[in-house]
Amino acid sequence: MWACYGLILVCSYVNWDRIITDNNIKRNDFETDYHLVAINYNERILLDYAIKTGNSALINKLKERIESYQKKTFLSKILYYETINIENPEIK
């Protein structure tokens, strides 16, 4: 029984949304709108993708979204968004 709890705890630390987005970006039929709306915590990788492809509309959407999360009050903040630098994003 404790093994199940341990497995759930270990799996919860993995950012599955980033893994999904990272693998789907490699596809020819990658749909940015779906990943922007339906999958969470992938803004950093989508921002890198938008910069590489020169998609200024996607860059602006992502920057507005990240800024809105970064402006929230302390108790409402999500640490993931605090680690994203929208002024000088690092392209990987």
pLDDT of residue 92 exceeding 80, the answer is no
CA angle 12, 49, 57 (to 5 degrees): 115
41 pLDDT higher than 70 = yes
Would you kindly state where each structural domain of the chain is located, as residue ranges?
16-82
- Tens-place pLDDT, residues 54-63: 999 999 999 9
Q: Which residue has the tokens 């969470």?
A: 40
What is the model's pTM?
0.81
32 to each of 3, 18, 29, how far by Cα in Å? 37, 13, 10
Q: Are 32 and 55 in contact (CB under 8 A)?
A: yes
Secondary structure of residue 40 in the 3-state scheme = coil
Counting beta carbons within 10 angstroms of the beta carbon of residue 51, is it exposed (0 to 12), middle (13 to 18) or buried (19 or more)? Answer: middle
